[in-house]
């Protein structure tokens, strides 16, 4: 049986971590924020975190990387489509 104090400390730590992750996600949504800054912040958090926090922060990193890949793929497709439209309008390109 664990001590109630230990459980409260663990719950408090989990709540602090959840708040930090929510802040990171909120920062991600800001249009002026650079995703590189977020990656640096998350890696800094991981350096000082315990194993549970490291696991959760690694999940955040994975989601950021996946979102970045999706965004890059979207812009690549958009660029390709723009080129095809320009080619269709002006065959001399």
With cut-offs at 50, 70 and 90, classify the pLDDT of residue 87. confident
Look at residue 32 in the predicted model and tell me its pLDDT. 44
Residue 69 lies in domain: 4-89
pLDDT at 82 over 80: yes
24-55 exposure pattern, b = at least 16 Cβ within 10 A, e = fewer: beeeeeeeeeeeeebeebbeebbeebeeebee
**26-75 residue pLDDT tens:** 666 655 455 666 677 777 777 766 777 777 777 878 888 888 888 889 88
Read off the pTM: 0.44
Predicted pLDDT of residue 85: 86
**pLDDT above 70 for 77:** yes
Looking at the 3D structure of the chain, how many domains does it have?
A: 1
Query: CA 63: distance to chain centroid?
Result: 5
13 versus 79: the higher-pLDDT residue is 79
């Amino acid at each position: 049986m664990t001590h109630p104090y230990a459980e409260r400390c663990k719950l408090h730590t989990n709540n602090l971590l959840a708040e930090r992750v929510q802040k990171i996600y909120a920062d991600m949504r800001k249009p002026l924020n650079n995703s590189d800054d977020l990656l640096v912040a998350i890696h800094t958090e991981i350096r000082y975190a315990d194993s549970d926090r490291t696991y959760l922060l690694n999940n955040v990193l994975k989601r950021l990387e996946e979102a970045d890949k999706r965004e890059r793929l979207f812009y690549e497709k958009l660029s390709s489509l723009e080129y095809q439209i320009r080619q269709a309008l002006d065959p001399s390109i």
